[in-house]
Amino acid sequence: MTLDTKKLIAQMNEGLEMEYASHIQYVTQAAITKGPYAEALIARFEEIASDEAEHAKILRGRIVALGGTPTTKVGEIQVHPDSLKAVQINLKYERDTVTFYRSLLNQIPHDEVILYEAVEHVLQDSQEHVEELERLSGK
Ligand SMILES: [Fe+2]
Ligand SMILES: [Fe+2]
């Protein structure tokens, strides 16, 4: 398997856009969350938001290492006044993210160890986010 660097940089920038959007989405959702379960939800949203900021940092580093320029674009952001709806919105988003990083990881040869492990780490966190949000959504 050979590395199509240009295509990879473009896809990683797509991921970076999603991470920026996701970070803003979670911190904003944390700020507007109200209701009986607010405290737990806010804590979880903020915790996930810091993971998203870390993912953005990891992607920026790898994009530069590949010879690319990290994007400053931010993807689409969706927040909702109803916390349960917000959990569902984020659950769908995280599931899409898992699909995205899985396909990205499949294009990286295993011997590209730093890049492979970086994307694998982001994928693993995304899968954890899916599990956490599934639990919060009561499913
Ligand atoms: Fe992320
Ligand atoms: Fe996530």
CA dist., res. 11 & res. 37, Å (int): 37
Ligand 2 is an ion; residues with CB less than 5 A from it: 94, 126, 129
Q: What pTM was computed for the model?
A: 0.95
Shortest-distance ligand to the CA of residue 121: 1
Residue that is written with structure tokens 């916390």 in the block? 83
Residues in the chain: 139
Tens digits of per-residue pLDDT, 30-39? 999 999 889 9
**In 3D, which of 53, 133, 139 has the Cα closest to residue 98?**
133
What is the total count of domains within the chain? 1
CB atoms within 10 A of CB 90: 27
How large a percentage of the chain has pLDDT more than 70? 99
Interior angle at CA 74, CA 69 and CA 79, nearest 5? 160
User: What SS3 state is found at 79?
Assistant: coil
Domain that holds residue 121: 5-136
Confidence of residue 138 (pLDDT cuts 50, 70, 90): confident
What spacing in Å lies between the alpha carbon of 22 and ligand 2's midpoint?
7
Question: How far does residue 19's CA lie from ligand 1's centre (Å)?
Answer: 5
Give the type of residue at 62.
Answer: R
* The pLDDT of residue 2 is above 80: no
CA-wise closest residue to 27 among 77, 94, 89, 82: 77
Q: Encoding tokens for residue 13?
A: 């920038």
1 pLDDT more than 80: no
Distance 56 CA to ligand 2 centre (A): 11
pLDDT in tens, 85-135: 999 999 999 999 999 999 999 999 999 999 999 999 999 999 999 999 999
**52: CATH:** 1.20.1260.10
- In tens, the pLDDT along 48-67 reads 999 999 999 999 999 999 99
Say how many Å lie between the CA of residue 14 and the centre of ligand 1.
Answer: 12
Helices (H), 33-82: 38-65
